[in-house]
């Protein structure tokens, strides 16, 4: 329950992909946090007893949906020593120790708050230490504190020694093992499943390892069958043609990061009989790669292997976006927050990057981060747009984000399922932001 209210005389952004606006609109939200009416201020009657919030000159739009987040870290560059292969198992052991788990939970709570205060009202966490994000989701649902709507994957599913292992993954090397790990996560209450189909940049030990296929199609098929039986979508970290093709054939619903597409991939994205809903979507994440490619190694701390792999996947991702645009494949939006250089308050930078580097229009970028992501995640009945009947997941901005996404850095209000964050505020890392501003 929240106090009912109305945002009066606002400019509502429909986020339809074409940039349509409803000027002079009033949005009425009931005590259940559901949008009751949207229409011209002159026609909408605000019921007696509702709080009236004057939104003259303000831009009202759906809260952002971050379809690819992690929550275990704040995004500041890690000391390079922690990324060395020799300390990998020590780091993992610490993360999974009782004290490590307490830290992971505390960081998760702080980071979902930061996401909320920067305009994210729904996020999908894809790769957690344990089940700390599931716990935080349950605490938010119980009303213990305000937070975004959370979908949580728990640990991702990988092959032994694969991407994410041993820190944030359950590992297996057979379809039976993969099936068992999927069931384990589902029994723990996850609402998303994440696979590492290929290698990744952050933990690659050789140039070319990011994108190299790791999990077999048979293993991924077993995972998709188990997850889909429970009605849960499967996301796959996949950064090469071979890895993505195998993931799509297995029935993966969202391809994370992406790469240049061949004809079979294009067909499978648009018509994927093994996926949960018949199609698959691309979720590019430019934020972790771009700084590694464009900033000096003295700033990023990246060694030659990391930098070369980042360059490789960045170019592949850009081609994947172009191929998706050219072939009318659904594109969503994710930030890969918690990775080095990806803070929880910089979601707007992803929108900026997919426009400047990926070739989307600002309207398409905002559409991807709202309506499209809602549709991809199966939440379009309840969120993703400002329409009667949907939850009041709303951001109120002082300037039009379609002119400059930086408008998201100073939201006037963020509203999550009707609960108003009156003075959104986040802690910024100024040095990091200054480096990113130079890009
Ligand atoms: Zn990720």
- How far apart are alpha carbons 87 and 70 in whole angstroms? 22
Residue position matching structure tokens 């831009």? 59
pLDDT at 111 > cutoff 80: yes
3-class secondary-structure state, position 109: helix
Do residues 34 and 391 lie in contact, with contact meaning Cβ atoms separated by under 8 Å?
A: yes
Give 419 Cα–ligand 1 centroid separation in angstroms: 29
Give 335 Cα–ligand 1 centroid separation in angstroms: 8
Give 70 Cα–ligand 1 centroid separation in angstroms: 6
pLDDT at 87 > cutoff 90: no
- Predicted confidence at residue 387, as pLDDT, reads 98
- Predicted confidence at residue 85, as pLDDT, reads 76
Residue-wise pLDDT for 47-71, tens only, equals 999 999 999 999 999 999 999 999 9
Q: What is the domain partition of the chain in residue ranges?
A: 64-341+367-376
pLDDT at 157 > cutoff 70: yes
- For residue 163, give both structure tokens: 């991407």
**Mean per-residue pLDDT, 31-48:** 97
Residue-wise pLDDT for 299-317, tens only, equals 888 888 889 999 999 999 9
Between the CA atoms of 430, 435, 437 and 439, what dihedral angle is there, to the nearest 10 degrees? -170
Q: How confident is the model at residue 350 (pLDDT cuts 50, 70, 90)?
A: very high
Give 235 Cα–ligand 1 centroid separation in angstroms: 10
Q: How confident is the model at residue 284 (pLDDT cuts 50, 70, 90)?
A: very high
Give 7 Cα–ligand 1 centroid separation in angstroms: 36
Using a CB cutoff of 5 Å, list residues around ligand 1, an ion.
Answer: 336
Residue-wise pLDDT for 178-203, tens only, equals 999 999 999 999 999 999 999 988 78
Do residues 192 and 235 lie in contact, with contact meaning Cβ atoms separated by under 8 Å?
A: yes
H-helix or E-strand spanning residue 282: strand 281-283
pLDDT at 1 > cutoff 70: no
**What percent of the chain stands above pLDDT 90?**
90
Give 126 Cα–ligand 1 centroid separation in angstroms: 6
Give 273 Cα–ligand 1 centroid separation in angstroms: 25
- For residue 297, give both structure tokens: 């190694």
| Longest CA span, the chain | 67
Give 87 Cα–ligand 1 centroid separation in angstroms: 21
pLDDT at 210 > cutoff 90: no
- The helices-and-strands tally (H runs, E runs) of the chain is 14, 17
Q: How confident is the model at residue 88 (pLDDT cuts 50, 70, 90)?
A: confident
For the chain, helix, strand, coil in percent to 5 are 35, 20, 45
Cβ-in-10-Å burial (0-12, 13-18, 19+) of 339 comes to buried
Between the CA atoms of 30, 410, 134 and 166, what dihedral angle is there, to the nearest 10 degrees? 160
- How far apart are alpha carbons 50 and 28 in whole angstroms? 9
Give 237 Cα–ligand 1 centroid separation in angstroms: 7
Residue-wise pLDDT for 246-273, tens only, equals 999 999 999 999 999 999 999 999 999 9
Give 299 Cα–ligand 1 centroid separation in angstroms: 22
φ, ψ (nearest 5 deg) of residue 65? -115, 120
- How far apart are alpha carbons 60 and 408 in whole angstroms? 12
- Predicted confidence at residue 150, as pLDDT, reads 98
Give 200 Cα–ligand 1 centroid separation in angstroms: 9
Packing angle between helix 263-270 and helix 241-250, nearest 10 degrees? 30
Beta strands in 55-125 (DSSP E): 59-62, 64-69, 120-125
Count of Cβ atoms closer than 10 Å to residue 303 Cβ: 12
Which is nearest to 123 in space by CA: 156, 148, 154? 148
Count of Cβ atoms closer than 10 Å to residue 278 Cβ: 11
- Predicted confidence at residue 177, as pLDDT, reads 98
Give 313 Cα–ligand 1 centroid separation in angstroms: 13
- Predicted confidence at residue 205, as pLDDT, reads 81
Residue-wise pLDDT for 374-383, tens only, equals 999 999 999 9
Which is nearest to 32 in space by CA: 63, 3, 62? 3
- Predicted confidence at residue 208, as pLDDT, reads 80
CATH topology of domain 64-341+367-376: TIM Barrel (3.20.20)
pLDDT at 79 > cutoff 90: no
Give 400 Cα–ligand 1 centroid separation in angstroms: 29
- How far apart are alpha carbons 319 and 24 in whole angstroms? 40
Give 69 Cα–ligand 1 centroid separation in angstroms: 6
Q: How many CA atoms lie within 13 A of 315 on its CB side?
A: 5
- Predicted confidence at residue 236, as pLDDT, reads 98
List the Cα angle 189/193/197 in 5-degree steps: 155
Mean pLDDT over the full length of the chain: 96
**Mean per-residue pLDDT, 86-106:** 91
Give 106 Cα–ligand 1 centroid separation in angstroms: 20
Residue-wise pLDDT for 397-431, tens only, equals 999 999 999 999 999 999 999 999 999 999 999 99
- Predicted confidence at residue 81, as pLDDT, reads 72
- How far apart are alpha carbons 417 and 77 in whole angstroms? 33
Which is nearest to 439 in space by CA: 316, 310, 286, 308? 286
3-class secondary-structure state, position 241: helix
Give 226 Cα–ligand 1 centroid separation in angstroms: 22
pLDDT at 204 > cutoff 90: no
3-class secondary-structure state, position 227: helix
């Amino acid at each position: 329950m929240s106090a009912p209210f109305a945002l009066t005389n606002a400019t509502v952004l429909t986020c339809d992909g074409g940039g349509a606006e409803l000027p002079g609109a009033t949005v009425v939200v009931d005590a259940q946090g559901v949008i009751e009416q949207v229409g011209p201020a002159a026609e909408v009657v605000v019921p007696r007893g509702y709080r009236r919030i004057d939104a003259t000159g303000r831009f009202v739009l759906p809260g952002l949906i971050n379809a690819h987040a992690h929550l275990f870290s704040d995004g500041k560059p890690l000391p390079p020593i922690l990324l060395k292969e020799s300390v990998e198992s020590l780091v993992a052991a610490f993360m999974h120790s009782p004290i490590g788990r307490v830290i992971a939970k505390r960081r998760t709570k702080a980071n979902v708050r930061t996401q909320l205060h920067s305009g994210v009202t729904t996020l999908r966490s894809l790769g957690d230490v344990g089940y700390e994000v599931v716990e935080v989701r349950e605490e938010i649902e119980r009303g213990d504190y305000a937070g975004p709507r959370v979908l949580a994957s728990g640990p991702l599913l990988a092959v032994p020694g694969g991407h994410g292992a041993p820190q944030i993954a359950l590992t297996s090397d057979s379809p039976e093992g993969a099936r068992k790990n999927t069931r384990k996560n589902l029994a723990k209450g996850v609402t998303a499943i994440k696979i590492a189909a290929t290698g990744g940049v952050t933990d690659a030990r050789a140039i070319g390892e990011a994108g190299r296929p790791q999990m077999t199609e048979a293993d991924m098929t077993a995972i998709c069958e188990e997850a889909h039986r429970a009605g849960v979508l499967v996301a796959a970290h996949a950064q090469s043609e071979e890895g993505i093709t195998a993931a799509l054939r297995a029935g993966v619903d969202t391809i994370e990061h992406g790469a240049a597409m061949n004809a079979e991939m294009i067909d499978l994205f648009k018509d994927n009989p093994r996926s949960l809903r018949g199609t698959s979507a691309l979720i590019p994440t430019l934020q972790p790669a771009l700084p590694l490619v464009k900033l000096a190694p003295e700033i990023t701390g990246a060694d030659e292997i990391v930098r070369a792999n980042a360059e490789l996947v960045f170019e592949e991702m850009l081609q994947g976006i172009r191929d998706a645009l050219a072939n009318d494949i659904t594109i969503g939006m994710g930030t890969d927050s918690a990775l080095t250089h990806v803070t929880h308050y910089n979601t707007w930078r992803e929108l900026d990057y997919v426009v400047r580097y990926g070739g989307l229009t600002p309207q398409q970028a905002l559409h991807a981060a709202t309506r499209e992501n809602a549709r991809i995640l199966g939440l379009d009945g309840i969120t993703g747009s400002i329409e009667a009947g949907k939850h009041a997941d709303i951001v109120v901005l002082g300037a039009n984000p379609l002119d400059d996404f930086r408008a998201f850095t100073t939201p006037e209000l963020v509203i999550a399922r009707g609960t108003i964050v009156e003075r959104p505020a986040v802690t910024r890392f100024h040095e990091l932001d200054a480096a990113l501003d130079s890009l």
